[in-house]
Amino acid sequence: MEIVAALLLAFALAAYLRIRRWPATRAIALASLLSPATITFGAYVFPAEPEFRMWWSITVATSLFFGLCAAAAGYFVVVLLQRDRARS
């Protein structure tokens, strides 16, 4: 469940940074790091849960990839919305 929340947060942060006119590479890179940070934080806060402890390192790598995808999607959704608004 927390991975979904982390991906939504990466999407929202990248969209917010686009609205604040950050360059794409910086905004997407910063927002995509939220997902692995959330997973790593959860691994150290809940270390007694054996399944989470066993899979957290693989989950961090996977969440980095999906965090990049979510952040890029959030950034470019705002780009498309801004272009559409500029045409109107």
d(CA 27, CA 80): 16
Query: Mind listing the pLDDT tens digit for each residue in 31-72?
Result: 999 888 888 887 788 777 777 777 878 888 898 999 999 999
Q: What is the Cα–Cα distance from 47 to 63, expressed in whole angstroms?
A: 19
The pTM assigned to this predicted structure is: 0.83
